[in-house]
Amino acid sequence: MRPVVIAHRGACGYLPEHTLPAKALAYAMGADYLEQDVVATRDDALVVLHDIHIDRVTDVAIQYPGRNRADGRYYVRDFDLEELKRLHVHERKGPDGSPIYPDRYQDTGEIFRIQTFAEELEFVRSLEESNGRRVGIYPEIKRPEWHRGDGVDITPDFLKTLADYGYQSHSDRVYVQCFDAQELRRIRNEMGCRMKLIQLIAEDSWQESSTRYAALRTQEGLDRLARTVDGIGPWLPRAYRLRKRDGKIFASGLVQRAHKAGLAVHPYTFRVDELPDGFTSFDALLAFFVDELAVDGLFTDFPDRALQFLRRISG
Ligand code: CA
């Protein structure tokens, strides 16, 4: 079976991440899954945004000057939904205000807005009805520990919203993803979640959660994970090794170990405009991960390009 194509934050190679137009474009391109990252507002609404901060993808600093925390950042959690709805979303910028991906959509018009998790699921349902093609969703519980520390447990509402839209069983077109291993154990074992679960794997140095990722990548760690989750989402550099001497690429063994444990592997992130070390083209990158490593899914900002590649190799 060919790997599933997951539209990472929508078709965000072409339109600002996590906006509904980016999701509609990914849907029209034929992506198998549309990703949602979920964070909480001050009034405990769940919205679709990649980070707990909003200063890199919106005009929050212009509309609400001085509402930043001591670290200078503007937090989703410090704004009510109604306030966030007034913000304009744009292509991601770096700390100095320059675009992270200069070749992507840079128009700063006032078209793009923030939507709630429920609004996005409603949108997906309507797209399916008007177009006649079913599509999966791939929501992520963002920073559950951090949210609890800030006074909200986002997971129960996250699961309830999914259930409201009919997502609850293992065969439903949904993968629930999280970087926090403890949270995944909680939703599987204590909250009775039957949906497919994906353990995202970060680097310990990223301080994404208190999960220790190095231990998860061992055979023992993966075997243990397989009791709770259906698959893993490692970042690309952990799946291969680059031999500096001649530039040759080798499997790191991670994908093999995960498959041995019975886990699916959905690495992130396949980007045309940001190739990982050692790869000279997007197609060469895909060829290695699909043909050599036989991964089961691809998180990509460019779902059209991934699908074109998969169609080509299937003849
Ligand atoms: Ca994500």
- Cα(226)–Cα(72) distance, integer angstroms: 40
Which residues, 6 or more positions from 251, have their beta carbon under 8 angstroms from its beta carbon? 239, 240, 241, 292, 293
Contact 42, 174 (CB under 8 A): no
- Cα(236)–Cα(271) distance, integer angstroms: 11
**What pLDDT shows up at residue 212?**
95
Residue 47 C-alpha to ligand 1 middle, in angstroms?
13
Residue 10 C-alpha to ligand 1 middle, in angstroms?
10
**What pLDDT shows up at residue 1?**
87
Task: List the structure tokens of 276.
Answer: 């990982």
Helices marked H in the chain — which ranges? 20-29, 60-63, 81-84, 117-131, 144-149, 155-164, 181-185, 213-216, 219-225, 254-260, 282-287, 303-313
**What pLDDT shows up at residue 110?**
86
Residues of the chain with pLDDT under 70: none
pLDDT one-digit tens code per residue, 207-240:
899 999 999 999 999 999 999 999 999 999 999 9
- Cα(178)–Cα(75) distance, integer angstroms: 20
Residues facing residue 218 across a β-bridge: none
Residues serving a catalytic function are: 8, 50
Residue 71 C-alpha to ligand 1 middle, in angstroms?
23
Scan for tokens 């949904």, then name that residue: 174
Which residues, 6 or more positions from 235, have their beta carbon under 8 angstroms from its beta carbon? 201, 202, 203, 267, 268, 269
The helix, strand and coil proportions of the chain, stated in percent and rounded to the nearest 5, come to: 35, 20, 45
Domains of the chain, CATH where assigned: 4-52+115-313 (3.20.20.190)
Residue 249 C-alpha to ligand 1 middle, in angstroms?
27
pTM of the model: 0.98
Contact 112, 75 (CB under 8 A): no
Q: What angle do CA 21, 312, 268 make, to 5 degrees?
A: 50
- Cα(11)–Cα(32) distance, integer angstroms: 12
pLDDT one-digit tens code per residue, 45-57:
999 999 999 999 9
